[in-house]
Amino acid sequence: DQQVKQNSPSLSVQEGRISILNCDYTNSMFDYFLWYKKYPAEGPTFLISISSIKDKNEDGRFTVFLNKSAKHLSLHIVPSQPGDSAVYFCAASPPLTQNSGYALNFGKGTSLLVTP
């Protein structure tokens, strides 16, 4: 079953405006959340992450917000630029232990188009 959901397959935003990409998760054990950006014919590129002990993390034009009670996170891009046009994946991970190993749970992605 899909534990991480991105309910908007696509989003179109004008250059200079804010882009808001949303993500919901169902597993309350997840404690680390990441956003990746993917261009065609390339692998996903890490963008920004947030730990469950925080509710906000900023990195330049990118801010991720986490609402644990709602099991919801969002990525804000301000201002949006044409080069931001890509597919954005939300991912979540349970606590990492020495024996558990890495296993990211991904949403199906949101295709963002930023128009000039």
Q: Which residues bind another protein (CB under 8 A)?
A: 31-32, 34, 36, 41-46, 49, 51-52, 89, 91, 93, 95-109
Phi, psi angles (nearest 5°) of residue 83:
-65, -10
Q: Residue type for 85, please?
A: S
> For another protein, which is the closer residue by CB, 35 or 80?
35
**CA atoms of 31 and 60, how far apart (whole Å):** 23
> For another protein, which is the closer residue by CB, 9 or 16?
9
Q: Are 15 and 83 in contact (CB under 8 A)?
A: no
Tokens of 66: 């986490």
Minimum distance between the CB of residue 116 and another protein, rounded to whole angstroms? 28
Minimum distance between the CB of residue 26 and another protein, rounded to whole angstroms? 15
